[in-house]
Chain A
Amino acid sequence: MQDETTAKTRLRIRLRPVAFIAVLLVLWEIGIRRQPNHLLPGPWGVIGGIADLVRHGLLMKDVVASLFRVTWGFVLAVVLAIPLGLAVGWYPRAEMALNPILQILRPISPLAWIPIAILWFGVGDLAAIFLIFLGCFFPLMLTAINAVQSIPAVYVNAGRNFGLSSAALVYRVLYPAVVPNLIVGLRITLGIAWLVVVAAEMIAVSSGLGFLIVDARNAGNRYDLVLAGMLIIGLIGLLLDAGMRSLEKVKSFRWGYSED
């Protein structure tokens, strides 16, 4: 008897966000109907837009283009920034030396680099990848530096106490100790990469989901496609984030979060 009611309440709780979304959609539809100008579509219009895109094979092409650029830019940034950041974090003098430079470069929106990116790489994939790389590099480096600096001194001392060589210290203490922080940083930076790619595509390239939005509007005010594009951007961004979160949950990385 008890199990039935708890199962039912649990289902009801799960459905609440769905109900909320449904309410929002209804309000949206009503709001659209009452608008005299017919520029913005309602929810049905957006679904129609998605169907349109799928039918013309555009959706897949653009999604792949965006993901391609994100992957390259992100991976390049990871490969360069993480080892560099770990090294800089380890040596206080290195951090002292580089910190001001990092702090000035960090607040610069990657998009501000567009003229330079185009100058160096022309309009196209490489420029976009460069921008994504820029957008990811500094946060990742700062994450790595911070991760090393937050290693409790006890771990390092214990390692040295057991007579570990420098190399072994890095491999057996430093690396496992920083992994939880790094993974969280990776997730956040991937989110940043996704934001940058969309923005970059709206300005500097002619394919991808960002371009889809700009093009849909410019070539005929197809706001149903605009909103469809936005929705898909949101969903893919969410999937990327969820994917990284599941990586965080992998047991061997979880030790960093045991305080619950």
Chain B
Amino acid sequence: MNLLSKPRKWEQFFWPILASALLLALWHYSVIWSGTKVFPSPREVGKGIGELVRHHVLWRDIVDSLRRVAAGFGAAVLLGVPLGLTLGWYPAANQVVNPVMQVLRPISPIAWIPVAIIFFGVGDRAAMFLIFLGAFFPVVLACISGVSNVPSVFRRAGRNFGLTAPQLLAKVLLPAALPQILIGLRIALGIAWLVVVAAEMIAVDSGLGYLVIDSRNSGKRYDLVVAAILMIGVIGLVLDLAFRRLEKLHSVRWGFRFES
């Protein structure tokens, strides 16, 4: 892309390690240099992680957060995919429903907390509802755009072979739209992960988000705060990579991206 030579294989590991080491050093020396008594150094954070693991707190919180994401995201997929496919298939229906979605979508799921608490009380269910809200619209929109972006050749070929509308949806549109839908699902999963952490900071008392808030509130354990934050990042990344693996599996197997 530029005028420098192409990077070698070993550089794939060298540069990130170098950059991360530099960053950690920067962090470490900033803490020392600024003389802060509260903000943790990298080593303290490492020890914090060890402590969390030893007291089995970390594992339990991770499981709690993942559990809520699974439920909320799962619900969003179960409800959102059929809805999105239908709206993508019938543009007229989409046109009717779209304004409502466009108004509801920019409302942060966190803003729904008072409403969620009325319906679900304080606890797991409210959090799952919030996650569902956060993931629902991206899933629907991804399905709509996936279906409407299917090249019309495929639709016509399907009709030519005498497929009825439901057959067309199942045998042509869904497979053709799947790559784009999967990407949308991955993004929605990322959003779900963001929402669960935020929801746990407010509405429940377990999970990684709660760990962040609790570590500060009960003793100003900023080392644990940063440890929890890092764990949130790592697990979010793992989720994203796992999903990408799924996408790759599918696309290598079916081997296609549209030549657009």
CA–CA, A229 to B103, complex, Å?
A: 13
In whole angstroms, what is the CA distance A61 to B239 when docked? 40
B2 an interface residue at 8 Å Cβ cutoff?
A: yes
List the A side residues contacting B18 at CB < 8 Å: 97
Known: A115-B216, A196-B108. A92 touches B260 (CB 8 A): no
Contact of B195 among A19, A109, A166, A213 (CB under 8 A): A109
Given contacts A20-B96, A93-B15, A234-B104, contact A106 B233 (CB under 8 A): yes
Cα distance, A66 to B247, chains bound together (Å): 38
Q: Does A247 contact B (CB under 8 A)?
A: no
- CB contacts (< 8 Å) of A13 on chain B: these are 92, 95
With both beta carbons as reference points, the residue of chain A lying nearest to B212 in the complex is identified as A112
Please give the distance in Å from A177's CB to the nearest CB on chain B: 12
Given contacts A17-B99, A109-B197, A111-B197, A104 and B110 within 8 Å (CB-CB): no
Assess whether B114 is in contact with A156, with CB atoms less than 8 Å apart.
no
Q: Which of B74-82, B172-180, B222-230 interfaces with chain A?
A: B222-230
B99 A21 Cβ-Cβ under 8 A:
yes
Q: Are the C-beta atoms of B108 and A198 separated by less than 8 Å?
A: yes
Give the segment of B3-11, B54-62, B121-129, B157-165 that binds chain A: B3-11
Residues of A with C-beta under 8 A to B152: none
Let me know if A238 and B106 touch, CB within 8 A: yes
B234 adjacent to chain A (CB < 8 Å) = yes
**Min CB gap B230→A, angstroms:** 7
How many A-B contacts if CB must be within 8 Å?
Answer: 186
Interface size class of A (residues with CB under 8 A): 35 or more
Taking a contact as CB atoms closer than 8 A, the residue among A116, A151, A198 that contacts B111 in the complex is A198
Task: Label chain A's interface by main secondary structure.
Answer: helix
On chain A, the residues within 8 Å of B197 by CB distance are 108-109, 111-112
Of B118, B222, B230, which is within 8 A of A40 by CB?
B118
Bits for A146-183, please: 1 = Cβ < 8 Å to B, else 0.
00110101001000000000100000000000000000
**B106, B114, B237: the one within 8 Å of A226 (CB):** B114
**Cα–Cα, bound, A90→B232 (Å):** 29
Chain A residues whose C-beta falls within 8 Å of the C-beta of B102 in the assembled complex: 238, 241
- Is residue B209 within 8 Å, beta carbon to beta carbon, of the partner chain? yes
Of B111, B118, B194, B260, which contacts A213 at CB under 8 A?
A: B111
Task: Encode contact with B along A200-221: 1 for CB under 8 Å, 0 otherwise.
Answer: 0011000000100110110000
Question: Closest chain A residue to B4 by CB distance?
Answer: A91
Query: How far apart are the CA atoms of A148 and B260 in the complex, in Å?
Result: 18
CB-defined interface of B138-152 with A at 8 Å, one 1/0 digit per residue?
A: 000000000000000
Q: Please measure, in the bound complex, the distance between the C-alpha atom of A233 and the C-alpha atom of B100, giving whole angstroms.
A: 14
A223 to B114, CA, bound (A): 8
Once the chains bind, are B16 and A97 in contact (CB under 8 Å)?
Answer: yes
CB contacts (< 8 Å) of B3 on chain A: these are: 166
* Binary contact track A105-145/B, C-beta < 8 Å → 1, others 0: 11111011111100100000000000000000000000000
With CB as the reference atom, state the residue of chain A lying closest to B213: A115
B183 CB to nearest A CB, Å: 13
Q: Which residues of B contact A (CB under 8 A)?
A: 1-4, 6-7, 11-12, 15-16, 18-20, 23, 38-39, 92, 95-100, 102-108, 110-115, 118, 190, 193-195, 197-198, 201-202, 208-209, 212-213, 215-216, 222, 225-226, 228-230, 232-237, 239-240, 260
Give the 5 A-B CB pairs with smallest separation, nearest first: A237-B106, A107-B236, A97-B15, A97-B19, A199-B110
14 pairs from A and B in contact (CB 8 Å cutoff)? A13-B95, A90-B1, A107-B193, A108-B197, A109-B193, A109-B197, A112-B201, A115-B225, A191-B106, A199-B108, A223-B114, A230-B115, A234-B103, A234-B105
Further pairs besides A107-B240, A114-B213: 16, Cβ < 8 Å: A107-B235, A107-B236, A108-B236, A109-B232, A112-B208, A112-B229, A116-B39, A116-B222, A195-B108, A202-B111, A202-B113, A210-B108, A223-B118, A226-B114, A230-B112, A233-B106
